[in-house]
Structure 1
Amino acid sequence: MKIIGITGGIGSGKTTVCQIFETLGIPIYQADERAKYLMQNDKELIKKIIALFGSEAYNQGVLNRPFIAKTIFSDPKKTEQINALVHPAVGKDFKKWQSSQDAPYVIKEAALIIESNSYKQLDFLINVFASIETRIQRVQKRDPQRSLEEINGIIDKQVSEESRNELSDVIINNNGDQLLIPQVLSIHNQLIN
């Protein structure tokens, strides 16, 4: 079974592209959502997060997202440290999930596929491209509580579009000037043949 990765910067439209693949019967593993789940439910990971951030990392058993976000936003070393805890847990969870799937290929969707080096375990990588301006507008519409400074901070922490394009096997243009469905169908046909 082939493992296909879908990546792209914040607001590029990864989720929309995955929904199209899902309608074609392709199982989707959403790494970012699973990471949130594991940070809340994996006892071993929770212990490691508390050891890294202190007891303030959880409020009455619930992950203190604002505290974690504020801490890693101001300390890049903490970002690396939490990623070093979460990425292996997600990798293990993905392998377990993948073994229960029955399809010609599965998709692993993650914003940080390249940053985490997990692209090296993929058979094929798709980058969903949209201009920074388009991405910022989408994120502001989707998450109105996020400031422009916060959005730009996330963009700055993500790998460059050039690097994503260079490492990808195919690029889906989601800038709004090309239809998505024909692009996805073309890739799907390529992957099953």
Structure 2
Amino acid sequence: MLKLRKVGVTGRLASGKSLVCSVFKQHGAYVESADEVVHQLLTSDQKNIQRIISLLGQDVEENGRIDRIKVAEIVFSDKKKLSELEKILHPQVLDKLKQCYEKLQKQNEFSLYVVEAPLLFEAHWEGFFDTIITVVAHDELCKKRYEDTGHTDYLKRISRFMPVDEMIKKTDFIIKNNEAQKEVEKQTLDIINKL
């Protein structure tokens, strides 16, 4: 039976986490996104939908689903509501990740279970992972990448993240994403070969 190693990929907003995860996927890892799990919880779990409407108001609901843009507008302007929302979602996301891991372990097809988790440290999920990789990039480069996707709330969102120097103290590997994509791919491959 293969040993299924749990790898958390984290980093600040627009640092290049998805790029790193895509390299892992190309090399045979099973890759999951914590943000995608949140999206599923906000669209298909009626109990969560009702809890979030109770917390944030009826305006966040549209056609039986939670409007993530409206939620973001509220919680990134109100730290207390953001904290309450995270108390609802973070434990459930971790439970879903654990369930996926257990299922994959039984299937015995993969040796790496990689989770893209932007708030890995902030959610206190370190204990779940065998290895943690932090992707770092210059702040002005992250801001430009984020704004190039059409978003304008970089400063509000980035305030939720732990400072990079604190992340680095808690991580096993660092990938620097200030240069060409090929360089990030090379660093990621080097880590894959060490795992």
* TM-score, normalised via structure 2 length: 0.90
Q: Between Structure 1 and Structure 2, how many residues are aligned?
A: 187
Asked if 1:182 is matched to 2:189, the reply is no
The secondary structure found in structure 2 opposite 1:38 is helix
For 2:24, the equivalent position in structure 1 comes to: 21
Distance, in Å, in 1 between the alignment partners of 2:101 and 2:128 is 13
- The code of the aligned residue for 1:17 comes to V
For 1:81, the equivalent position in structure 2 comes to: 84
Question: Which of 156, 161, 166 is matched with 1:163 structurally?
Answer: 166
Distance, in Å, in 2 between the alignment partners of 1:187 and 1:79 is 34
Distance, in Å, in 1 between the alignment partners of 2:87 and 2:37 is 15
Question: Which of 57, 63, 66 is matched with 1:60 structurally?
Answer: 63
Distance, in Å, in 1 between the alignment partners of 2:177 and 2:17 is 9
- The code of the aligned residue for 1:114 comes to F
Asked if 1:126 is matched to 2:133, the reply is yes
Distance, in Å, in 2 between the alignment partners of 1:118 and 1:99 is 16
Cα deviation digits, residues 16-57 of structure 1 (max 9, x gap): 110000000000110011111211111222222122123222
For 1:97, the equivalent position in structure 2 comes to: 100
The secondary structure found in structure 1 opposite 2:85 is helix
Distance, in Å, in 2 between the alignment partners of 1:65 and 1:183 is 33
* Contact persistence 1:45–1:89 (CA under 8 A): no
Aligned-residue identity in percent: 28
Structure 1: gaps of 5 or more residues: none
How far apart are residue 151 of structure 1 and its match?
0.5
How far apart are residue 82 of structure 1 and its match?
0.3
Q: After the TM superposition, which segments of 4 or more aligned residues of structure 1 sit over 4 Å from their partners?
A: none
* TM-align CA RMSD: 1.4
How far apart are residue 79 of structure 1 and its match?
0.4
Moved more, 179-188 or 61-70: 61-70
* Contact persistence 2:43–2:49 (CA under 8 A): yes
How far apart are residue 100 of structure 1 and its match?
2.5
Distance, in Å, in 2 between the alignment partners of 1:28 and 1:65 is 23
**Cα–Cα, structure 1 residues 74 and 181, in superposed 2: closer, same or farther, change >3 Å?**
closer
* TM-score, normalised via structure 1 length: 0.91
For 1:138, the equivalent position in structure 2 comes to: 145
